[in-house]
Amino acid sequence: MKDRREFIKIGALGTVGLLTNTACAQNDSEDNTTGVLEDKGTTKPIVVSTWNHGEAANKAAWEILEKNGTALDAVEAGVRVTESDPENMTVGLGGLPDRDGNVTLDACIMDHQSRCGSVAFLQHIENPISVARKVMEDTPHVMLAGQGALEFALQSGFKKTDLLTEKAKDAWQKWLKKADYKPVINRENHDTIGMLALDAEGNLSGACTTSGLAYKMHGRVGDSPIIGAGLFVDNEVGAACATGVGEAVIRVAGSAMIVELMRQGKSPEEACKEMVKRILAKHPSEKDMQVGFIALNKNGEFGCYSIYEGFNIALNDNKRNKMIDASYEKKWDRN
């Protein structure tokens, strides 16, 4: 694990060096966690999720999966933990606000029947993932946004909550002194929890939720609530989700493409890597832009890949409960 402080100011650093990572995350662990099963059997149940906050989220998801619960229930319960954690400043309650001081949330959920639900630009609701599930289950629509999403949530029994914690407010007020905007995504200041699960029945589901980029323009929506960008599930093939600068993920329909690449025979990690390379090719002059993907296929094989070092994922299955550093395309050049 890298020194925590190394990741804090990455966005302020200058040029980057292009280095292909040789320490493939899934090969550097003590128990040879490759994400690809040696016996080509199926690992199920299994859950994977983004960043360090995935550890606590996976625990809640695993409690459901190990009792033969559904992947859908597991991913919802899992990411709700992160949404309700006031110390987490990138998801749900306690998320950093937009430049005007509003905490605005995006989330989506998708199941093995290709049912999906999403909320975007939702304010005042602690668990947007559960509102997204209600959109999926109780409406003929996929996506509700803004005031309409809030009204639907309140009508559905969700409580109005002040999401701006003192800690987030202090950070925003400090930022206001310079109001120098730059998306910064790294291990400390990451942006999303994405979670993918395969249950004992062999069904896949995924969830993705975020407060979006800190100090974004009011009204900005990222990739996280967009089915096909922040999350995609096809129960015939696999599932994928994204973290990082949402605009870049939307431009390539990142998660849907990863699932298609797996359909064509790529391993989860190969598919994630190809989409990272595609994003880099389409953003040749972008510096310091982090994007990470995770993917899980029908056999319970998983993979992850990011533009920059520092992305990590949480994994739980019957044998493993661990954090894994993702493979990456570039090292930060701090000189």
212 binds ligand GLY (CB under 6 A): yes
192 binds ligand GLY (CB under 6 A): yes
CA distances (Å), 81 to each of 55, 88, 233, 309, in order?
A: 10, 10, 22, 26
Which of positions 280-319 make contact with ligand GLY (CB under 6 A)?
none
Number of CB atoms found within 10 A of residue 135's CB = 25
244 binds ligand GLY (CB under 6 A): yes
What are the structure tokens assigned to 207, written together? 């969830």
Q: Which residue has the tokens 């559905």?
A: 156
- Asked if 73 contacts 64 with a C-beta cutoff of 8 angstroms, the reply is yes
- Asked if 239 contacts 257 with a C-beta cutoff of 8 angstroms, the reply is no
98 binds ligand GLY (CB under 6 A): no
| Pairwise CA distance, residues 190 & 229, whole Å | 17
Q: How far is the CB of 269 from ligand GLY (least distance, A)?
A: 20
Write down the catalytic residue from 192, 209, 210, 243: 192
Residue 90 is among the residues annotated as catalytic for this protein: no
243 binds ligand GLY (CB under 6 A): yes
Candidate list 26, 82, 209, 224; residue touching ligand GLY; CB under 6 A: 224
Q: How far is the CB of 314 from ligand GLY (least distance, A)?
A: 17
Q: Which residue has the tokens 């993702």?
A: 326
Torsion of CA 53, 204, 120, 306, to 10 degrees: 50
Nearer to ligand GLY, 21 or 224 (CB): 224
Q: Segment contacting ligand GLY (CB under 6 A): 38-46, 55-63, 222-230, 297-305?
A: 222-230
Largest CA distance in the chain: 57
Q: How far is the CB of 207 from ligand GLY (least distance, A)?
A: 14
Q: How far is the CB of 210 from ligand GLY (least distance, A)?
A: 5
Q: Segment contacting ligand GLY (CB under 6 A): 7-15, 120-128, 209-217, 320-328?
A: 209-217
222 binds ligand GLY (CB under 6 A): yes
Q: How far is the CB of 164 from ligand GLY (least distance, A)?
A: 17
Give every CB contact of residue 80 below 8 A, 6+ residues apart in sequence.
60, 127, 129, 130
| Pairwise CA distance, residues 269 & 100, whole Å | 38
Interface residues toward ligand GLY, by CB under 6 A: 191-192, 210, 212-213, 222-224, 243-246
Tell me the catalytic residues. Answer: 192
